[in-house]
Amino acid sequence: MNPENKRMIAFLVLVVGIIALAVPKMRSQSTGNDQTEHFQRSFTIAQGGTLDVDNYKGTIHVIGSDTNQVAVDVAKHFEGSDSDRKWWMENVRINFRNDANHVYIEVKYPQQSCIFCLQGISYESAVDLEIRVPRQINVRLESYKPDIKVAAIQGDIRVKSYKSPIEIDSTTGAIRIDTYKDTIKLRNVTVRGPLDVKSYKADVEIEGKGLGSTAHLENERGSIVLRVPSNTGLDVDFEGGRHSDFHSDFPMNSRVGSHEENFRGTINQGGVKLHLRTEKGSVSVEKLSGGF
């Protein structure tokens, strides 16, 4: 047997050995069941305080109610082998800090390092946060890709995320969102303070009963649909880049601009300062239905 054939046989033996070691791992993954652990925590907070949440994935759901506490229901989900589950459950951390005016929740996911692994991570895991709060509270959320929902609060909302579907419903206060991809849906909101939404490759829908004094909506490679009551006064400042599109259900008065992609104009004699920016996207200003 020549040296080249010997090297080939040795290589094949090595490959077969690696596959043999990997098969039990793959079997345990395919037969693993979704296993969940729950626990709850609660914190007293003053009206007008701030909830601050940082969760990499899973869910962040915040709903206002008639209470003076922040009540947190934590669900740790895991699907994979028993050995991986034990390691993950022991190492995932949900950190809480609080004082009279502030509750901070941070989810720290464990990092698994395996220099010689060919498969990478062989399990699915996430932490879900269901949070009940006083109605008068400010909310700050930071995340990578959890499902985000905020409803029935009277306070300022700030969201910074990546690949997160975002829903905000029946709120009163300022809203600031900075996100990448997925969807943003604002329903039945009354803005007091600024409305500032920046998105990239995301589709945005806003139904506002009131927009406050200023609104800045900016996107790239996505769409923005803004629906407002028919009597809303707007000072519109639109700037569109290449392949952008603008539509309005309202007649535009005093419209001025050098070309279609950049102009200023008023709706209903003016009012809210509405700044619209898009690059390779579309913007539509529509009348809100439902008797407004």
> What sign for the dihedral angle of Cα 276, 146, 149, 194?
negative
The pTM of the full predicted model, rounded to 2 decimals, is 0.84
Q: Would you state the structure tokens that stand for residue 26, as one six-digit string? A: 């793959």
Q: Which residues pair with 176 in a beta bridge?
A: 158, 196
- pLDDT at position 179 is 95
- pLDDT at position 49 is 98
- pLDDT at position 269 is 92
Residues in the chain, pLDDT under 50 = 12-32, 118, 291-292
- pLDDT at position 249 is 95
Cα angle value 28/31/32 (rounded, 5°): 80
Q: Which residues pair with 97 in a beta bridge?
A: 104
Query: pLDDT digit string (tens) for 136-185?
Result: 999 999 999 999 999 999 999 999 999 999 999 999 999 999 999 999 99
